[in-house]
Every structure is written in C-alpha cells, then in structure tokens.
Amino acid sequence: MDISTDIWGQLAVEASQVYLSDGTVRSPFADTTIEKLPDKVLLHIFSYLSHREICRLARICRRWRQIAYDTRLWKNVSLRPEISGLHVGSLEMLLQLISVRFGPTLRYIELPIELITHTVLHELSAKCPNLTHMLLDFSTAMQLHDFSEMQAFPTKLRYMCICLSEVIFMEGFMRKIYNFINGLEVLHLIGTYEKCEEEEEEIYEVINVHKLKSATPNLRVINLYGINFIDDSHIDAFSSNCIQLECLAVNFCNKVTGSTLKTLIQRSKRLTCLLMNGTSLKSEFVMQAEWDKCALQELDITATDLSTECLVDMLTRIPSLKFLSAGQINGFNDTVLKQWMEAGTTRSLISLDLDSSDNITDEALLKFLQRHGHQLSACCLSGMPHITDQLWMSVLPLLGNCKIVVMGTAEKLGVNIHVDQLMDTIASSCGNLERLELRWDPDNLRFSDKSQKAIDILRVKCLKLRCMVLSDGRYYETVKANFERADRITVVRTTTCCRVSPYHLLRNYNDLIFN
C-alpha cells in the first residue's frame, strides 16, 4: 500500500507555508480536515489499525465504509476474539465476509472451532485462491463438526497451525485434507502444555503423526509445542520423510528423550536448528549422535538434565554453532565453558543464553566474554543472584555488537543494583541494542534524582531500542514516563506481560511464530 512521495511532500510544503491575515499567522492547510485527504492516504492510515478499529470506523460515513471494506486491508485476518481477533456471530456472516470482503487478497486466516466447518473451508477454497497461511484452533473443542461431505480445501497453503484438543481425535478431519496439504513448508502442532495439571491423567494421541508425515514431504519447519504424547518415534517419523527439514522444535514435549537423535542427524542433512527446551533428554542418547558431522547452527537445550560430560562432548563436537540456549542446567559449569573455548568451536557463536546457571562463576563468565563478547548479538545472563551490576559494568564494554541483553534475577538480593551507572554504561557501549530486560526486583534497584539524565542518554544513544522490560515499580514508572514524553510509547513494558528472548535471532524465527 505505497503512498506517493508527492502527496506527502505536498502536505508538508502546504503545512509549512504561512501568511499574515488580519494580524494572525495562518497556514493555507489549516482548514484542511481528514475528510479532504485522498482515499489512498486514508487507506494507508487505516492499514495501521486493527480490524476491530476498522469495523468501528466503517460506521462513520459511506466513504469510510467503502475504504474500510477495501480487500487490501483484509490480507491477514484472525477470527479468534480471545486472541485480539474479530468475533463473527454466525456461519452465514462468515460466508458473506469470505465472499465480499476477503476474496483473492486473503493470505492468512485464523479460525476458532465453531467456524471450522466443511462449508467454510469449501468457501475459502473457492473464493480465496491466494490463501497461504491458516491456523485452525481446536483447543477448546469437545466435539468436531461433521466433515464427511468435505470435498475441497485450500490447496496453496504453505503454513498451517493446528491447535490440538486433549480429548478430540482429529483423524476424521485430517483424512479429508491429506490430499490438499502436500505443499506445506511450515507445520505447527500446538498442544495443551500450559493447561496441564501435575496429577497423572490419561494421554490420548489425538492426531496421527505417522500418517501426517506421509502427506507433508516438503516440510522445512516443524514445531511440535507442548504436546504430551509426542515422543522420539514421532521425531523419527518426520525425519524419515522430510528431506528438506531445516528446523525442528519440540519444546515442552516431555516424552522426548533423544533416543532418535542419531538417526535424525544422519538423515536430515539440512537441519540447522534444533529446539528441545523442557524435554527429557538423556545424556547417553545425546552422546551417541554424530554432532561433528551435522550442519547444526542453532540449539536450545534449556531445562534439560544433561550431564557435564554430555555437554562437553556435544558442544566441543558441533563445528559451527551460532546460537545456544542452555539455561537451567545443573551440569553447565565452569568446566563446560573452559573446554568449549579450548576446543575452538565457539568461534561462530553469536547468541548465548545461560539463564539460571548457578554453577557458573563470575570469573569463568568474564573470561569467556573477554574472548567472545565482541561477536555476540545476544547475551542473556539472567536468573543468577551472583551476577550483579558489578560484573555487568565490566562485561558491557565487551558487548558492543549486542542487539539483545537480558540481566538480573527476580530473587531479592542482599546487595543493591545501581541502575543509573548501568544505564550510562549500556548507552555508551551498546549502540545497536534493540531489546533489553532487567529482571531485578524493584526493591533492589537504587536510582537518584539524576536518573532522568541517564534514561535520556540511553533513549538518545540507543535509537534502535524497541523493547525495554522492567519489573513493575517506581523505576519502571520513571522510565516509561520518560519514553512516553519522547513519543516512544510502546518501548517500555513490564516483566508481568513481556519477556525478552534471543529467539528473535533464529533464522526461522518468523516461521516459528504462532498465535
């Protein structure tokens, strides 16, 4: 939706020309209202609004209604009201929207369980030929609609996300779409990990992964998130059929032990990203994999129970690792860091996340960062009470190329964090910073009347900063007010609703986003 530079140039020139009339200074543009703007400009303004806001604006007047219904504003549509989407009251209304408002320009759609019917899918197939991204949310389903008459399904899908239910078996639906999804490149299967209770419950395999893999031979990215029945046999199934596989994520699939890692590495020659946060990896299985022959560049083994021996064996054998998340692992200690450096396989590293690694000392971290800090784009050393502002003051000058920095712990400390000095050091050392998080408890933050100056310097020098996360408290309010006065109202956020992650640096980050 490009706006001619001539239009903006004309507006700017007219707004700047002033003349005297009756003793007052006026602009010839002063009488111009939004109604006089060209349709193209209004369309561009509307493109920054949510669909809820666009629908409200459609009630203003006939002209705005016509612009609001322009199909170019409806390329990406969510119909899940609980996740900031539109609420559609009936199937008839949705069918009308597909036909009148969405049409050939629709590229992405999210559907809740009540709108996933064979009639809706037929209509999308017929009226939206350029639909490439689809999310189907079955997570709250207690019963599926009848798909026995379904004969059509969108055929150009490249991305599909299915949010699974714990109790609804999907085979009746999946059987109908297998013939239409062989062009898929990105597949998300989202489980109910966040809803799970501690007590043991019966687990159902609600989707047949072994049949699904046969229908999707062109997958590049597979994300199996928080699915309680996913185990190593399912990883083996995908690796046997998806020769294009570049990225495999099985975060929070706690039945994955790594017993098929050796086969996965042998088969998937293009695999560069492997994310296994919160899995039940066993050291003996991990050590059997031929890491020295793999193309792996990005690895997440956070919150696994790997031994020190296993970590040393793996990290010293992966030849060109760029991204490592290995927090919350008791076995990750000074020995691992030292032998990893000595092996020389850290030369490609650009992102390091060692959250809550209490067995690593200040001295070992400082030595590692003195050697490799200059090459890092992300450095996350949070959750460690012994890493205070004193170490960060020494480390930050070494992180001149960092875009992402996470520091601090939510635990109350016996020492205070002098945040003004910290801000000065960040501003002077990390000009490329884009995301920053300070997790320290507000009671541990010490700042003075000169804080505004330190915040001003940070805001002026770190112009690329788009996200700064702080614990809710007086300092958060001070920083937020400062950025809002400079009209950067979306930058400062709280740890209650936001977390900074190095995942932004993953090569397939955009493909891995869901919800």
Cα separation values, 368 from 54, 316, 377, Å: 52, 15, 15
Would you mind telling me the total number of residues written for the chain in this entry?
A: 515
Residues paired with 436 in a beta bridge:
405, 468
Mean pLDDT within 357-371:
94
Residue 100, both tokens:
């009148």
> Is the pLDDT assigned to residue 448 strictly greater than 90?
no
- Highest average pLDDT, of 58-67, 78-87, 133-142, 322-331, comes from 322-331
Which residues, other chains included, contact 22 with Cβ-Cβ below 8 Å and sequence gap of 6+?
A: none
Which residues, other chains included, contact 348 with Cβ-Cβ below 8 Å and sequence gap of 6+?
A: 297, 320, 321, 322
The pLDDT-based confidence of 450 (bands split at 50, 70, 90) is confident
CATH of segment(s) 350-514 = 3.80.10
For residues 336 and 365, the answer to whether their CB atoms sit within 8 Å is: no
30-73 has which fold? Monooxygenase (1.20.1280)
> Is the pLDDT assigned to residue 198 strictly greater than 60?
no
Instruction: Select from 374, 443, 457 the least CA-distant residue to 408.
Output: 443
- Residue 381 pLDDT: 95
pLDDT tens per residue across span 483-504: 999 999 999 999 988 999 999 9
Q: Per-domain residue ranges for the chain?
A: 30-73, 350-514
The C-alpha atoms of residue 41 and residue 63 are separated, in whole angstroms, by: 13
- Residue 197 pLDDT: 47
pTM assigned to the model: 0.89
